[in-house]
Structure 1
Amino acid sequence: MPLRSLSRAMFLGFLRDRMTLFWAVLFPLMFLVLFGGLLTDQGASKIDIAQVGDVAALDRMPAPAREALEQSLEIEKVTDEAGAIQQVRDGDLAAVVVEDGDRLVVHYSQADQVTAARVFATFQGIVDSANLAVTGTEPTYSLASQRVEDESLKTIQYVTPGLLGWAIAMSATFGAAVNLVNWRRTGLLRRLRLAPVPTSSVVLARVGVSLSVALGQTAIFIGLAVGAFGLQLTGAWPLAIVLVLTGTLAFLSIGLLAGSICRTEEGAVGLANFIVLPMAFLSGSFFPLDGAPGWLQGISRLLPLRHLNDGMMDVMVRGQGLEAVWQPMAILLGFAAVCSLVAARLFRWDA
């Protein structure tokens, strides 16, 4: 069958192309290994604090409260107040704490506003607690905190879906764009057009190979994350496969559009990079976008990779089911349809 022969030839061509294998599989895996090794089992970093002399609010703190405090602060007792303050100016310490009569004086730097806010909020809470303890007044309210995720949840579970989405986008976009330009430049497209092979078979073979590569990428990513970094999948994680397939179709169509526009392989690579790399940053593939401004969040929601990443995060990490995949699938398929129609209008058999 022409379809089977074309699919086999395209797949073997993919496996023999070392550069394509590197960019589609090995390069994203390097990021998974890097992020997994650096971020696994790490939360927010501790703040380095210097305590000068005795500070009653800290030294007389109940043991459970002190233990909770030391999860976010690294407190070291020092005697040289001036030297410690200089370390704060130099950025080597976050703050210096000194007791001055009935005042708790905290010297900090505003250079790192996030750390400064954490320091201020922490010591404001310490002072409030100390004041309550001195007055002997029972607090009206108490705080109870409970983590919404499983206690064993690790950072790798947030890293894997985003990097996998980026890998899928890279492979599908680059593969389609570069192959289309290469086939046109070498005259292979013209020969396929003149050969007794239906155009539908050529298209289906290209789609089938891209979907097969995406499934292979998914297996490698999940296998490495589970085996090497302790990724724990929720019960609905197989739904991620459906999202991977629809995401591949979306980015395959974007690659076909790029390949239809460009005349050289270098141009196709540049255009694919211009599309995929900024999209990865704006879609949360490398870091979360929770603190991004509203206008940036709005732009992010217009990108197909954002919906692929969010959908895989929902079913792989957050334990959601079918309700979490319908909207991302519809958006990704919509992108695939629109980009395919535009690519078909711009498509040329000859250079």
Structure 2
Amino acid sequence: MLSLAIIRGFVRDRASVFFAIVFPLMFLVLFGGLLGNQTQSKVDMIQVGDVSFIDQMPKDARAAFEQTFEITRSDDLADAIAQVKKGDADVAVEMQGDTLLAHYTQTDQVKAAVTQGVLQAFVDGTNVALSGKPPTYRLDAVQVEDDSLKTIQYVTPGLLGWAVAMSASFGAAATLNGWRNSKLLRRLQLSPVPTGTLVGARVAVTVGIALTQLAIFLGLGAAFFGLRLTGAWMASIPLLVVGTLCFMAIGLLSGAVAKTTEGAVNMANFIVLPMSFLSGSFFPLDVTPQWLQNLAHVLPLFWLNNGMLDVMVRGEPATAVLLPMAVLAAFAVVVTALAAKLFRWETT
């Protein structure tokens, strides 16, 4: 009877049912969409100039090659390498004598290894087809980034973006809802302290925490894991500030809608945690279906992660953060306005 009573209590508690059953099922659907029934996507290749290796492939090998690589043509090697470095393409190939020179990016190490392996297989197959002669072609793979760059360079921006998003949204949600439920918000409203001062204090604390996270991530990464930033990495600071305000707005929305502090934090978690998987915080988006890659562009965390990756790793100029900052700022304004409209001074 006691067990039956506990089960009834569990079923009647909607929050418990949601986070015990519905929330995990959401991740099943998420990872099913990410990894289930997924065919290998084509490798984006830029062919620079005439590449005799491709022209001399046997017909069946050429067909398989075109099924493996999505080929675009260019006569500008510098622009092609820049696209690879930025992540707009996976590899750029050119011919230097009988050598197929492949310029690849190390941002996605798995795809880099697969690209080199597949290219080597096609080179070997073409050499076998041209039997009776010494090997005609050879492959030389060149990394477009500095050879000294390590995996930590690519991991840091995504994990930092996720950490900032979590702390900013959770802090705002818990503070707003906690102050409202304890009636402290009403008392502060009636106090002589201007509202702008209260908001400014909360924003200053949250931004200070985000900048502290940035310092800790970069400090520990440099001291213990060989982190070495490239490009205009200082531009990540204003980007991080705007990103913090954006995720504070999500926390405010959660705090405005939920009735309890726990509910507000859970709601913020419900929004931010799946977003982190869809925005490249934990693994490259190249492994996901195209429709999920397109979906990522409407998520604010994608813009925060991608902007930091541009100036911390890809060597982009400081202006590369302007578009991500504009998107994050617009998102913050819209969500804050929605939170203000839904906010109630008293819980019902």
Scaled to the shorter chain, the TM-score interval is 0.5 to 0.7
Mapped to 1, the partners of 2:122 and 2:337 lie a distance apart of 59
Partner of residue 217, structure 1: 213
Q: Alpha carbons of 1:339 and 1:125: their partners in 2 closer, same or farther (altered >3 Å)?
A: same
Which residue, out of 131, 135, 147, partners 2:132? 135
* Contact residue 275 and residue 299 of structure 2 kept, 8 A: yes
Gaps of 5+ in 2: 1-112
Cα offset, 1:292, TM superposition: 1.8
Cα offset, 1:224, TM superposition: 0.8
Which residue, out of 185, 192, 203, partners 2:188? 192
Q: Alpha carbons of 1:341 and 1:124: their partners in 2 closer, same or farther (altered >3 Å)?
A: closer
Cα offset, 1:170, TM superposition: 0.2
Q: Alpha carbons of 1:127 and 1:271: their partners in 2 closer, same or farther (altered >3 Å)?
A: same
- Cα distance per residue 1:256-292 (max 9 Å; x no partner): 0110001101211210111000000000000000132
Cα offset, 1:294, TM superposition: 1.6
Which of structures 1 and 2 has the bigger CA Rg?
Answer: 1
Which residue, out of 322, 327, 338, partners 2:318? 322
Which of structures 1 and 2 has the larger relative contact order (alpha carbons within 8 angstroms, sep 6+)? 1
Mapped to 2, the partners of 1:131 and 1:342 lie a distance apart of 65
* Contact residue 127 and residue 135 of structure 2 kept, 8 A: no
Partner of residue 244, structure 2: 248
Which residue, out of 238, 256, 260, partners 1:260? 256
Cα offset, 1:121, TM superposition: 7.0
* Contact residue 189 and residue 350 of structure 1 kept, 8 A: no
Q: TM-score, normalised on structure 1? A: 0.63
Which residue, out of 158, 174, 178, partners 2:174? 178
Q: Alpha carbons of 1:120 and 1:233: their partners in 2 closer, same or farther (altered >3 Å)?
A: closer
Mapped to 2, the partners of 1:323 and 1:174 lie a distance apart of 30
- Cα distance per residue 1:290-349 (max 9 Å; x no partner): 132221011100000000000000000011112211100000000111011111112222
Aligned ranges for residues 1-351 of structure 1 at < 5 Å?
125-130=123-128, 132=130, 135-136=132-133, 139=136, 143-351=139-347
Determine helix, strand or coil for the equivalent of 2:285.
coil
* Contact residue 284 and residue 306 of structure 1 kept, 8 A: yes
Mapped to 2, the partners of 1:208 and 1:116 lie a distance apart of 46
Q: Alpha carbons of 1:156 and 1:240: their partners in 2 closer, same or farther (altered >3 Å)?
A: same
Partner of residue 91, structure 2: none
* Contact residue 181 and residue 263 of structure 1 kept, 8 A: yes
Cα offset, 1:200, TM superposition: 1.1
Q: Alpha carbons of 1:125 and 1:224: their partners in 2 closer, same or farther (altered >3 Å)?
A: same
* Contact residue 236 and residue 320 of structure 1 kept, 8 A: yes
Range 300-309 or range 121-130, more displaced? 121-130
* Contact residue 211 and residue 248 of structure 1 kept, 8 A: yes
Percent identical across equivalent pairs?
55
Cα offset, 1:146, TM superposition: 1.9
Corresponding letter in the other structure for 1:135: G
Q: Alpha carbons of 1:126 and 1:278: their partners in 2 closer, same or farther (altered >3 Å)?
A: same
* Contact residue 116 and residue 141 of structure 2 kept, 8 A: no
- Cα distance per residue 1:146-181 (max 9 Å; x no partner): 210000111111100000000000000000001111
Corresponding letter in the other structure for 1:221: F
Count how many residue pairs are aligned between Structure 1 and Structure 2.
235
Q: TM-score, normalised on structure 2? A: 0.64
Mapped to 1, the partners of 2:324 and 2:315 lie a distance apart of 16
RMSD of aligned alpha carbons = 2.2
Mapped to 2, the partners of 1:194 and 1:230 lie a distance apart of 52
